[in-house]
A and B are shown apart, each in its own frame.
Chain A
Amino acid sequence: GAVVSQHPSWVICKSGTSVKIECRSLDFQATTMFWYRQFPKQSLMLMATSNEGSKATYEQGVEKDKFLINHASLTLSTLTVTSAHPEDSSFYICSARDLGTHTYEQYFGPGTRLTVT
């Protein structure tokens, strides 16, 4: 089946620093990837849609200058949290759709736990 990986699985950073999270589709190509944020015991909230070769589309209320998204290839999207603050601590999850299928199914990565101290 289609596999999506994320790296790192968890990261701790100091307030004011930046951290990059990678999302890779391992065995399929994805023109579109989605980035979600999930706070403890809450649902997933879509942050942005990442499109290969073009600018990401951000959801209302998400700061595009703070959450930089780059989708440089059909198998890799990155999310960079710039000038991180403790309130950015969360579980970040990406998903991708297999370009080669005609289904609506999205495959989710295992998530990245970010802790900002």
Chain B
Amino acid sequence: QQQVKQSPQSLIVQKGGISIINCAYENTAFDYFPWYQQFPGKGPALLIAIRPDVSEKKEGRFTISFNKSAKQFSLHIMDSQPGDSATYFCAASMWARGGTSYGKLTFGQGTILTVHP
């Protein structure tokens, strides 16, 4: 119930195209859904995050779409660039209920994005 399932495992997109990565979760107690970008040998960096009270959030070329009833959320990268080539992780955590799971991030399996020039 703590799992977050991410797909696809890898994705190849041409420059200027749209990259779409999907995640699904089971635990309805999750109330914070961030996306992270990680380059080889580096720590993850927060890209964008959403709370379940909104269905979409956009920041620059990055958009999160959130479907609470389906327990799914996705990352859309518009106008993908070669510099976007990295591994992307979705994650989920719960804050409101506190307890021993307070703030812990559960990560998806990751998606290796390659953007060809």
Residues of A within 8 A of B (CB): 4, 6, 32, 34, 42-46, 49, 57, 91, 93, 95, 97, 104-111, 113
Contacts and interface: CB of A to CB of B under 8 A. Distances in A.
B54 interface: no
Contact of A104 (B32, B42, B45): B32
Contacts of A43: 89, 107-110
B107 A108 contact: no
B42 A46 contact: no
Interface residues of B, number: 22
24 contacts: A4-B43, A32-B103, A34-B105, A43-B89, A43-B109, A44-B44, A44-B107, A46-B104, A46-B105, A46-B106, A91-B41, A95-B105, A104-B32, A104-B34, A105-B49, A106-B46, A106-B103, A106-B105, A107-B46, A109-B43, A110-B42, A110-B43, A111-B41, A111-B43
A105 B104 contact: no
Interface of B: 32, 34, 36, 41-46, 49, 89, 93, 95, 100, 103-110
Which of B43, B44, B49 counts the most chain A CB atoms within 10 A?
Answer: B43
Given A32-B103, A34-B105, A97-B103, A104 B95 contact: yes
Given A43-B89, A43-B108, A104-B49, A111 B103 contact: no
B43 A108 contact: yes
Contacts of B105: 34, 44, 46, 95, 106
